[in-house]
Amino acid sequence: MRFAQAATALFISLFCFASVALADLKELHFAHNGGPGSLFDASATEFARRANLALPETFRVVVAGESRLGDDTAVLEKIKQGEVTFGLPSTVMSSMSETFGLFELPFLIRSRDQIKRIGDALLEPVLQPEAKKQGFRILAIWENGFRQLTNNARPINRPEDLLGLKIRVPKGAWRERLFAQLGAEPIPMGLHEVHAGLRSGALDGQENPLAQINGAKFYEVQRYLTLSDHLYTPAYIIVSDDHFSKLPPEVQELLAKIASEMQAWIYRTATQMESELIDQLGEKMQTNQIDIKSFKEISRPLYGQFAKAVPGGAKLIDIVDQLNDEFFLKSSAR
């Protein structure tokens, strides 16, 4: 009897201890829209792995991809409300502040070395204040990647090949303007809706980095892949400035440090993914290159529109042009 009583008491105390431990555990949710095998999925998973090894036992990063917690707009709202800790938005940031539309200008970035220099130069003095006006904080600039075109109508060699095609674009005014300038009909839509739209014929095509094209299995419903590199889109690891600041200072510092340190890993991983996916996707879709000169010529007016429409836009373009000139001068001197 005494043994049974002791065993029962031990079970109850262990149960209570586990209940208290679970109650004390704080899950930090990380939401993104990438599918399995995408760069977003790889980046968020690696961040969570590193963070969970280093965080106190009462904290744990939990990843939810494939827009399971909503599209980027919904996730940003949940971050503000404290329901989600981390998001990984990209193009939608230009809807929050037109300053982020800088990265919607076509052919602005041609290499990851350039984006690192530009990101380092602009994050704290320009982008961070714009994010904080909306209640957010950028922990680091990550990557969505160089964007490519897919469609079911024909190979896209010149801008006129896009004429009249219904092309899905992320939600963001400058991306819509770009594809309207190119002669397409831009259809803003959440990523999780695109596969069905392509399959049904409601969309003719879409544009995304190779890792997203592969992760979302667009090769199942698209015939043609055009390697255009028409845009490089950063991604931003975003938190609520208010809710994040309520975490213990050592937890904030640790998470911000890991987010920043992840950048080099993400660039290496993205480069390797691109190299492998060009071959893999080339076996599933007909692949071609664009006539880049004709695309640059027809899309260049967007730079002037950005300079006029966005406060400080002309200065931002000048900063980027100067950084790019310095980059190319150093590259040619090697």
Per DSSP, 245 falls in state T
- Amino acid at the residue 136: F
pLDDT at 248 over 60: yes
pTM over 0.85, yes/no: yes
- φ, ψ (nearest 5 deg) of residue 189: -165, 145
- Between CA 244 and CA 279 the distance in angstroms is 41
Burial of residue 233, with CB atoms counted within 10 A of its CB: 0-12 exposed, 13-18 middle, 19 or more buried = buried
- Tokens 């041609």 found at: 110
pLDDT value of residue 24 = 82
26 vs 7, which has greater pLDDT? 26
* Residue 72 structure tokens: 């980027």
pLDDT at 10 over 70: no
Q: Cα torsion for 137, 143, 144, 147, to the nearest 10°? A: 130
pLDDT value of residue 4 = 53
Nearest to 208 by CA among 139, 222, 165, 114: 222
Band of the pLDDT at 2, cuts 50, 70, 90? low
Per-residue pLDDT tens digits for 186-226:
999 999 999 999 999 999 999 999 999 998 999 999 999 99
